Structure 1
Amino acid sequence: MFKNERSVRIEWGDCDPADIVFYPRYFTFFDASTGALFEAMGYTLRYIRDELNDVGFPMVDTRSQFFKPSKYGDNVTIESEFTEVGRASFGVRHRLFNEGCLAVECTEKRVWACHNAEGVLKAKPIPDEIKMKMMRRSEKQESKNKGQ
């Protein structure tokens, strides 16, 4: 499945008085990482909204495990990948690494959504072109495998 990686610097505003990341901030990082995953495939939220006339991909379930705290000034790496792709829903796994160690792992389930004729938010099938890209490997993955 398609993967993406991004770097994040932990800022002062991300931390609580104990100088560690306040846990809801991780969900902000992971939400942005889901957006970055789509952008790495060539689909910005602006494109999804303006060109496809869809809302995007609201969250229906999320879970996380915390293994190691991150602190102000840390540079972390978030690896994100699709774990499953259904008709209208998909799964994403985010793994946040700090100094090479797994610090947080999060899973999400999201649905592709639009507004129906009455303006009500509803799930709809993921467009075939996007679904195909979600299920294939990224160029970074392909070049990594060729080097092995």
Structure 2
Amino acid sequence: MSRVTIHRVEVTFGDCDPAGIVFFPNFSRWMDQASLAFFRACGVPPWRELEAERGIVGTPLLEIQTRFLLPATYGEELEIHTELDEWNERTFRQCHVVKRGSDIICEGMELRAFCVRRADIPGRLRTIPIPADILALCS
């Protein structure tokens, strides 16, 4: 059974378009927040610590898919239910279900990888095998 964490978001007026519904990129922002919250809830140290100790800069996004089912508006509290449903050697898939109460508002999938900075090309990253200790914390 997969571990599921819940990240809560209070929708504000500024999160909405002129029609009063959440502007769609905000769901991506909230899912990104939920991704980090998942790792923190599992006991993974902050990215800055991991970079200082092991060179791991984080888990950049490689692919995203989102399906919108219902609108949301300001004044509502949303819950992003996040789980890791697939681990590969260098990538993992995180799934997010955005809920308002029992209603599913949005579903999202993110493919991510653990990365370090490349020594041969400044400013570039490379993927690394998923660290066994981090895999154990998140399983």
TM-score by length of structure 1 reads: 0.87
Question: Does the 8 Å CA contact 2:43/2:137 hold for their aligned counterparts?
Answer: no
Q: Is 1:128 matched with 2:132? A: yes
Please report how far the alpha carbon of residue 47 of structure 1 lies from its aligned counterpart in structure 2 after TM superposition: 2.4
The residue number in structure 2 matching 1:84 is 86
Q: How many angstroms apart in 2 are the aligned matches of 1:133 and 1:87?
A: 16
Report how far residue 132 of structure 1 moved: 1.7
User: Partners of 2:77 and 2:48 in 1: how far apart?
Assistant: 28
More helix by share: 1
Task: Give CA-to-partner distance per residue, 1:49-88, whole Å, 9 cap, x none.
Answer: 2222211111111001101111001011110000111111
| Aligned twin of 2:65 | 63
The equivalent of 1:144 in structure 2 is: none
Deviation, 1:91, is 0.2
Whole-Å separation in 2 of the counterparts to 1:4 and 1:47: 22
Gaps of 5+ in 1: 137-148
Indicate the percent of aligned positions where both proteins have the same amino acid. Answer: 29
Cα distance in structure 1, aligned partners of 2:25 and 2:91 = 24
Find 1:54's aligned residue among 33, 53, 56.
56
Which structure shows the higher strand fraction? 2
TM-score by length of 2: 0.92
What's 2:9 paired with?
8
Secondary structure at the aligned position of 1:132 is classed as: helix
- Structure 2 residue ranges without an equivalent (≥5): none
Aligned length: 135
Measured on the aligned residues, the alpha-carbon RMSD in Å equals 1.1
